[in-house]
């Protein structure tokens, strides 16, 4: 069965600072038509960052769409000036964490909400962290405010069970890290 | 540090069939203002559905925002007529899978994209599946077309590594299932 939908027309509704919205009319596999509301969003990078005490770096920040403070892994949009998703993540680890990491590994990439958005997320793992000197630190975006916390795997699993970690990419990252530890795939350098 | 942002004003930009878009002006922790582009999206349920051969049910469907066919766990929006996220998932497993399940367990809940959307996803685990009789099956939505496939954990991990599973909730679900198997938490009834 050919599941392909074919774009017939495309109505741009909104162009914002972060996202654009369009309404597409598509032709369905049965020849009928339907509309699809689509949010264009820049791609992003995120990282599982583990320190020498085997704790994961999380950042606390306000998320206005859900009107609450969340605990999330460090992450950020990929800028046109970044050479790659990995470069973007190294920059974000500097800006949001004040750290650089010796060891980096690509974990996976996925679309958080392919039903309505084209946002793609690149997930990395890093460890062997060192705190940056003041002069090497880059500033946060001017509308960005956050604080840092470090948690062990046991604490992270409890925070998920208690409903205190509710960010999708962070839940995914914790499960990947636990499975890396359970199957002995973590970096032991 | 108080990270709270306070809504000052709220400009509705678009009201669609699936999503609404608004632009909020907020007061930042430092007293300055910023705008936040926010997509309102209904909550959804999704399920890790495992058959007696220890294979997971995936559905193949076209996703117009990323213009490709995806492999995803069964999932769907929670309707006003559903009594709960679990009820919504039972309905979706009927509609998208043609199955009912004896054993159900809540796995977790999370926001796939809290940076720009309020969508919340409830993830369940189920097994002890039975194929529904024709007369008990509910129809798919009229603009919904999909086919079913079943995969073992090893196959699923390969599909992720090959970039053939790119849906965030499905990656999360596979990690949770692997973790349940590694830690011996699966249902053995």
pLDDT per residue over B137-188, tens digit each? 888 888 889 999 999 999 999 999 999 999 999 999 999 999 999 998 765 5
Interface touch A32/B169, C-beta < 8 Å: no
- Could you confirm whether B72 is annotated as catalytic? no
Q: Of B55, B54, B57, B128, which Cα lies nearest the Cα of B92?
A: B57
Q: Is A139 exposed, middle or buried (0-12, 13-18, 19+ CB in 10 A)?
A: exposed
Q: Helix axis angle, B168-182 relative to B153-161, nearest 10°?
A: 140
Flag residues of chain A having pLDDT under 50. 189
Chain B CA closest to residue A178: B179
Q: Which two tokens stand for residue A13?
A: 């509704």
> Alpha-carbon distance B167 to B160, whole Å?
10
Judgement on whether residues B69 and B34 belong to the same structural domain of the protein: no
The edge-to-edge listing of strands for the beta sheet with B121-131 is B75-77, B44-49, B121-131, B99-110
Can you tell me the distance from the alpha carbon of B150 to that of A173, in angstroms, rounded to the nearest whole number? Answer: 25
Q: Which of B40, B58, B64, B77 to mutate to test the interface with A (most CBs of A within 10 A)?
A: B64
- Catalytic member of A64, A133, A135, A142: A142
Is residue B28 located within the same domain as residue B109? no
Asked if residue A98 and residue A177 are part of one domain, the reply reads: yes
B189 domain-assigned: no
Q: A34 and A94, same structural domain?
A: no
* Inter-chain CB proximity A179 and B176 less than 8 Å: no
Q: Is A180 on the interface with B (CB under 8 A)?
A: no
**Residue A166 and residue A81 in one domain:** yes
Contact call for residues B21 and B13 (beta carbons, < 8 A)? yes
pLDDT in tens, B12-47: 999 999 999 999 999 999 999 999 999 999 999 999
pTM score: 0.96
Give the one of A13, A30, A114 whose C-beta lies nearest to B65's C-beta: A114
Does residue B126 sit in the same domain as residue B36? no
Domain membership of residue B72 (yes or no) is yes
Shared domain for A29 and A89, answered yes or no, is no
pLDDT, tens only, B45-55: 999 999 999 99
The CATH number linked to A85 is 3.90.79.10
Contact of B167 with A114, CB cutoff 8 Å: yes
Residue A175, min C-alpha distance to chain B (Å): 6
Say whether B117 and A28 touch across the interface (CB within 8 A).
Answer: no
Any residues with CB less than 8 A from the CB of A50 and at least 6 apart, and which? A56, A57, A125, A126, A127, A129, A177
Contact A65/B21, CB-based, under 8 Å?
A: no
- Per the structure, the count of domains in chain B is 2
Q: Domain check: are A108 and A170 in the same one?
A: yes
Predicted complex ipTM exceeds 0.90: yes
Could you tell me if residue B1 is inside a domain? no
**B146 and B107, same structural domain?**
yes
User: For the ranges B67-71, B72-76, B85-89, B184-188, which has the lowest average pLDDT?
Assistant: B184-188
Tell me whether residue A148 is in a domain: yes
Q: Does a structural domain hold residue A16? A: yes
Which of the residues B41, B61, B116 would you substitute to probe the A interface, choosing the one with the greatest number of A C-beta atoms within 10 Å?
B116
| Whether residue B71 is found in the same domain as residue B97 | yes
Using alpha carbons, list the distances in angstroms from residue B163 to A50, A122, A125. 25, 12, 18
Residue A189 domain flag: no
Residue A121 lies in a domain: yes
Q: Are residues A22 and A49 in the same domain?
A: no
Q: Are residues B138 and B159 in the same domain?
A: yes
Please give the residue range of the domain that contains residue A19. 6-40
Structural domain includes residue A132 = yes
**pLDDT tens for each residue of B34-43:** 999 999 999 9
Whether A107 and B161 have beta carbons less than 8 Å apart is answered as no
């Amino acid at each position: 069965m050919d599941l392909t939908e074919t774009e017939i027309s495309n109505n741009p509704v909104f162009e914002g600072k972060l996202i654009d919205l369009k309404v597409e009319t598509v032709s369905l596999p049965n020849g009928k038509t339907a509309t699809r509301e689509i949010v264009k969003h820049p791609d992003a990078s995120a990282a599982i960052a583990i320190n020498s005490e085997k704790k994961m770096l999380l950042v606390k920040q306000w998320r206005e769409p859900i009107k609450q403070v969340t605990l999330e892994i460090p992450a950020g949009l990929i800028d046109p000036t970044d050479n790659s998703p990995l470069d973007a993540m190294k920059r974000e680890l500097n800006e949001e964490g004040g750290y650089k990491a010796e060891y980096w590994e690509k974990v996976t990439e996925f679309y958080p909400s392919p039903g309505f958005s084209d946002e793609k997320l690149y997930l990395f793992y890093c460890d062997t962290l060192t705190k940056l000197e003041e002069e090497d630190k880059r500033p946060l975006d001017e509308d960005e405010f956050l604080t840092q916390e470090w948690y062990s795997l046991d604490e992270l699993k409890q925070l998920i069970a208690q409903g205190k970690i509710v960010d999708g990419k962070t839940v995914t990252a914790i499960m990947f890290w636990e499975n890396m530890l359970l199957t002995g795939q973590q970096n032991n350098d």
